[in-house]
Chain A
Amino acid sequence: MAAVVNAPVAAKSGRILEREDALAFWLLFPTFALLAIFIAYPFVRGVWLSLTNATVGEAGHFVGLANFTKIFDDSIFRTAALNTFVYTAITTVFKLALGLWLALLLNRHFRGKSWVRAFILLPFIIPTVLSTLAWKWMFDPTFSVLNWTFWKLHFINGRINWLGDPELAMTSIIIVNVWRGVPFYAISLLAGLQTINPDLHEAAAIDGANRFQRFWYVTWPLLLPVTMVVVLFSIIQTFADFQLVYVLTGGGPANATHLFATYAYQIGIGTGLLSEGAAISLAMFPALLLVVVFQLWYIRRVENR
């Protein structure tokens, strides 16, 4: 009986969903509700927070740009900012070079290829914090297997203090980031390589192009759109990185290896200066925005070609 009574109502709602814009509205509603509550609102609130002097448990009041002038005078913040740019630049170059090399190797036919491809993605799949702990153990000053290896190979006499030496610590962090990132680059670029028609290579070879020329004039230009997307995405992730530094050094020794994110955590959560922490986090925003705008522009350009 109930079904019969409800039938006209159901039919009516069904008819509303026949309209494309109504259906689209209801399909998009949950997504935009979540994004509004947990991304847009926190962003606005973060901007507000960075303009106050709030601490944990105290709402604070408006102080203008005081937090920003304070952090720009802070030498640790400036080191963190510089570190972030250097870290992003160096790791990106290495990840791209090694990832491209690995992709080119994997693009050939050999036995066990699918196994190799499955296994090399592990650094990217396994939770970063857990694999980084393995690296921290490998970098241990007293028990390091890396030191043992270099020592046995007669490369070193004394120990290498991978994470304890301020100069070396950043290099160690870069090594781990490259290790984790190379598989992502390699597999993504491999997918790009597989869309390139082999006839083009053959044609170039018949025209007398050598191996390098074939890569430079045929493969690389065709691979560029995929490469750009991968690189820009990876730049954003690396720039905002937190886990590696948090686990390996915690920003030390002597605050030498902080990135924006780890320093924001130390100030905002560690010492409870919420507003200053929010300001440090937001200091990432202009650079991130620039990359995103560039990426959108690039995607449009490729699509319209």
Chain B
Amino acid sequence: MIEGARWKKWLWFYLPLGAFVFGLLFPFYWMAVTTLRPDKELYRPWNSPLYEPFWTSSPTLDHIKNLLYETLFGQWMWNTMLIATLATIISLVCGVFAGYALARLKFRFAGMLGTVIFITYLVPQTLLFIPLADIIRDYHLGDTPWALILTYPTFLIPFCTWLMMGYFKAIPKELEECARIDGAARWQAMVYIIFPVALPGILSAAIFAFTLSWNEFIYALVFLSSPEQKTVPVGVVSELIRGDVFFWGPLMAGALIGSVPVAVVYSFFVEHYVAGMTGAVKG
């Protein structure tokens, strides 16, 4: 870059980029500050002279203690973890199998079945939640984790399938043919040769499925009713707000701690996550 254009770079590059980063991350900072702020400071109107928005002079862990000891938050974390993990496993198994079949095998209706899966990928949960609630009740799954473990795969499998199809298509056919010549059965070549090569794809799909399960809201809201069965998003929204009273300290503590598992999984596998996202876009 030419000398003297430095201020231009600041104006057109660093300034907007900084504004984006600030704007996108500020709500999380705000969650954290609120979590640590004592009630006395929390409920001070914005136009009061003592309003100190961006820091707190007397941080406290009261809200976190309140959340962990006075509410069912721990139970909700466990429920969500269980549901997200099992739904992810089911979706991965189905998605990897289906993706392999659609990408590598020749059979009638292959194209049509692929299109059907793609269409279900685009069906939003809000279209079907009312009849689905009826069906869940018929199967006596209502208010149990199974209501979610079995329904979450409906929006996770199509995604996993499409992602895996992309990965499987990129693996050279010769790899499988070599194994076949050496006497491996078709399913052996699939399990022992192709799946290990597609592991990065499987990992991306797993992270995606896990974060999407953790994020899901409307099914959990409608299918579960007792407080001890709820997931984190539903528990925080429905149990920490009583009537019109918002307990902002514990609420923000719940939002912060409830985000931690997803953030941890994400931080370990950022590259896989980004790869999965772009894979899905191109797929």
A30 to B98, CA, bound (A): 9
In terms of DSSP, what is the predominant structure of the interface of chain B? helix
CB-defined interface of A99-139 with B at 8 Å, one 1/0 digit per residue?
00110011010100010111111110111111101110110
**Chain B residue contacts of A212, Cβ below 8 A:** none
B105-149 residues with Cβ-Cβ distance < 8 A to A are 105-108, 110, 113, 115-120, 122-135
Among residues of A, the one whose C-beta sits closest to the C-beta of B265 is A125
A257 to B255, CA, bound (A): 24
Contact partner of A179 among B23, B46, B98, B251, CB < 8 A?
B23
Within the complex, the shortest CB–CB distance from A102 to chain B, in Å, comes to: 5
Within the complex, the shortest CB–CB distance from B206 to chain A, in Å, comes to: 14
Assess the A274–B130 pair: CB atoms within 8 A.
yes
- The yes or no answer to B195 lying at the interface (CB within 8 A) is no
B182-227 residues with Cβ-Cβ distance < 8 A to A are 185-187, 211, 214-215, 217-218, 221-222
Interchain Cβ contacts under 8 Å between A and B, 26 examples: A17-B186, A23-B186, A27-B97, A31-B117, A34-B90, A38-B154, A39-B120, A45-B135, A46-B127, A122-B263, A123-B24, A130-B233, A130-B236, A130-B255, A130-B258, A137-B34, A143-B45, A148-B46, A179-B27, A187-B277, A191-B278, A191-B281, A226-B282, A278-B130, A288-B123, A296-B115
Residues of A near any B CB (own CB < 8 A) = 14, 17-18, 20-21, 23-25, 27-28, 30-32, 34-35, 38-39, 41-43, 45-46, 49, 98, 101-102, 105-106, 108, 110, 114, 116-123, 125-131, 133-135, 137-138, 140, 142-145, 147-149, 151, 159, 179, 182-184, 187-188, 191-192, 226, 229-230, 233, 236-237, 239-243, 246-247, 260-261, 264-265, 268-269, 274, 277-278, 281-282, 284-285, 288, 291-292, 295-296
Residues of B near any A CB (own CB < 8 A) = 13, 16-17, 20-21, 23-25, 27-28, 30-31, 34, 42-47, 51, 53, 90, 93-95, 97-98, 100-102, 105-108, 110, 113, 115-120, 122-135, 150-151, 153-154, 157-158, 161, 185-187, 211, 214-215, 217-218, 221-222, 232-234, 236-237, 246, 248, 251-252, 254-256, 258-259, 262-263, 266-267, 270, 273-274, 277-278, 281-282
